[in-house]
Amino acid sequence: MISSHELKRILVVEDDKDTMILLKFALKRLKVVGIQHANDGSEALKYLKKESFSLILSDWMMPNMLGIDLLKQKKEIAKSRDTPFIFITSENSEENVIRACQEGAIDYIVKPWNMEILTAKLAKYLNIK
């Protein structure tokens, strides 16, 4: 869990513009100002090699690199190895949820999501009351 004294920097990996707008809105409701956006897993890896984040929110299905592959590869980067990872995706098969948990995702939110549930989950992981 992230201390309330730490700067909350979130990496959002999402290729859909409308979903990205909604995610930014939810994060701003939680007073998160450090939002970095990547369009796919490949772009996200570049950010993870340069910066530290409090949380990674990622879609599963994206061009160039699937979210599950991003989850696996982020473990190879020292500064992102322990960064909490949450999927926000329409990929809702039981197999994918199990695979995500086995690879270390801390949560799995299925689209379409409810803004209240999303903000409650994010507040929990960001330690915001």
Check pLDDT > 50 for residue 87.
yes
Can you read off the two tokens belonging to residue 14? 């999402």
CA–CA separation, 39 vs 13, rounded Å? 6
Domains in the chain: ranges and CATH: 9-17+25-126 (3.40.50.2300)
Span 98-121, pLDDT tens digits: 999 999 999 998 888 888 888 888
pTM score, two decimals? 0.88
Q: Whose CA is closest to 65, among 46, 40, 48, 44?
A: 40
Span 38-70, pLDDT tens digits: 999 999 999 999 999 999 999 999 999 999 999
Check pLDDT > 50 for residue 2.
no
